[in-house]
Structure formats: C-alpha cells, structure tokens
Amino acid sequence: MKAVLIPGDGIGREIAQSVRAVSEALDTGILWQEFAAGAEYAAVEGELLQPGLLDAIEECGWALKGPTATPIGKGFRSINVQLRQRFATYANLRPVHTLPGVKSRYDNVDIVIVRENTEDLYKGIEYKLNDDIANGVKLITRPACDKICRFAFDYARKNGRKKVTAVHKANIMKLTDGLFLSVFRDVATEYPDIAVDDVIIDALCMKLVQKPEQFDVLVAPNLYGDIISDLCAGLVGGLGFAPSANIGDATRIYEAVHGSAPDIAGQDKANPSAILMAFAMMLNDLGMTEKAERLNRAIYDQTAEGKVVTADVGGTAGTKAFTAALIRRL
C-alpha cells in the first residue's frame, strides 16, 4: 500500500529516516511517497507545501508527518490547520502513558485525550472592531460535538476503556461549552457499559497533576484539548514520547507532536520515539496489530534498559544508533 511521508523541518528528516528503516525491518510493505512541507521549504520555494502533497494524501488516505514550522508574520497559515480543514480530520487522538526508563513524577499514567479538531476558538474567526479591540468567535456546533463524543465512546468501547470524561467550562460558557456538555450527556446514554463524568477545565488541570491515574479517556473541545494534551505529555516525560493521530472519515494523518528542534537538527541527536509511536498507531489502524505491538514493545524495552537511548532521556546515543538498536530488537 501507499502512504505519504512528510519529514518536515529541523530534525524531521532524521526521524523520518528512522521511520523508513523501521518500516522496512517490520516488512510492512508500505510504499512511502515523500513530500516536503514547512518553513525551510517555504524559504526556498515561497510556499509551505510541495505541489502534489495534498493530492497524494487525498489518494492514499494515510499520511505520517514530522514536525513542521510556519514562518511568522509572512501570511502563511499553519500546516496543521490547513491539513485538518482540508481533510476534515475532526478527531485528534493523543494516548499518553508512563514509559519505563523515562523520568517522571508518576508511574501509572494511562490517559487518552480525544480532542475535537475543527472548530472552537481554533476555527480562527477573528476580527478587529478598532485599534484597541479584537474579537475571536468560539464556534461550537451540535454535529461536531456529537461526532467527537461518539468517537470517544466508540474508542473506549473498542479498546477496553472503562470511563469517558468530558472537559468543559460550562459554568461560565453556558451556551458554547453548555452545548458540548449537553450533547456529551445525550450520547453517553447510548453507551451504558462505559462510566461517564465531566470536569471543569481548570479543576481538571489541578486533578491531573495531583492524581492523573483517576482519568481514562478525556474528550474535549479544541482549545482545551490542545492544552491538556501537552500537560499530560509532561506527566510522562515530555513531548518526546507523545504520538498523535488526526482522524477523519476518509483520511488519517499521524504525527509527532513535538517541535522541529532546529538547535539539534542535522546533528544525529534527535529522539525518533514519538514519530515511531505515531507510526505504530498507524500500523494498528491498518490492521497490522502485531507489528504495531512489536514496535511499541521494542521502544518500551529499549527505553527501560537505558543503554542505547538519546540524550533527552539521559543517554548518549544518536538517532541512527537508537534506530539501529531498535531494529535489532525487532
């Protein structure tokens, strides 16, 4: 099968090579179509996306993306926003769990964040009334709320999860977040086998750093989902082990959510774990469950052993050495 690979900026090209090598070692049969995107490509070509990229994603339906930067103050729209809107990837899925060998204040985190990906304040509807007043529109619709809540409950049921928690601020945002919460409660009645509750966003942040193990699946509007995704990544050691999937009805785009790390780009220092874990999510959704499990287990075992790991987790290995050791495990 064919899939699109977008290395992106900075360390992206190095970690993308890890994906290619691991994919070959696992004998996935995936034929990668590689396209450039990001600030570095824009500096040379004057546009963010290489021609043919969007058509290739449309044709394949599957893509894996490295970190991309957007030039600031030059009129470019975020690549992530462009892709989400173009392919209607309404659900952002972020699993976060404790990894052996990765320093953290917690040892039993296992949370999945389901983030609505198309509306809320991130819809980008902003305007200025005058030089001193700017306004942003918080757009929440019943169909989008229904779709993301059903996705969260379906995911929980399919993956043996026990509870889904709605994240909101309906005590203040009575119409917008109130609509989200109301739809969540309506959808929940159709899943009697799943426990439900809801938490106000500010209280959730406190509870996450006090006792994260009390949460299972969190479903949230776009802005809250973005914030708590990074917060939860911090509970388990940071974005270096935080994969993500953007899921639509016809298209799935998987990505490492960390930045492009230009300070270490080209120096063989990057940790490819996040993009490899995103690749494992992709393999699982493609039906290659056994290969996905092998890849995740190899990452966990190698990190736990601590001998061939990158500097961000206390090691001295480079990207290539880490990848080679991982392939030996596979």
Positions annotated as catalytic residues are: 122, 169, 202, 226
326 contacts: CB under 8 Å, gap ≥ 6: 18, 22, 276, 298, 299, 302
Residue reference for tokens 């389901």 = 114
Q: How many CB atoms lie within 10 A of CB 210?
A: 8
Distances (CA, A) of 249 to 61, 80, 151, 198: 10, 17, 11, 27
**With the CA atoms of 275, 88, 219 and 65 taken in that order, what torsion angle do they form, in degrees rounded to the nearest 10?**
10
Q: Which two tokens stand for residue 239?
A: 């974005």
Distances (CA, A) of 139 to 87, 145, 205: 19, 11, 23
Beta pairing class for 243-247 and 91-97: antiparallel
Distances (CA, A) of 147 to 68, 263, 269: 28, 40, 40
Q: Which residues pair with 135 in a beta bridge?
A: 127
**What sign for the dihedral angle of Cα 167, 283, 233, 208?**
positive
**What sign for the dihedral angle of Cα 200, 206, 209, 211?**
negative
What kind and span of H or E run contains 94?
A: strand 91-97
186 contacts: CB under 8 Å, gap ≥ 6: 146
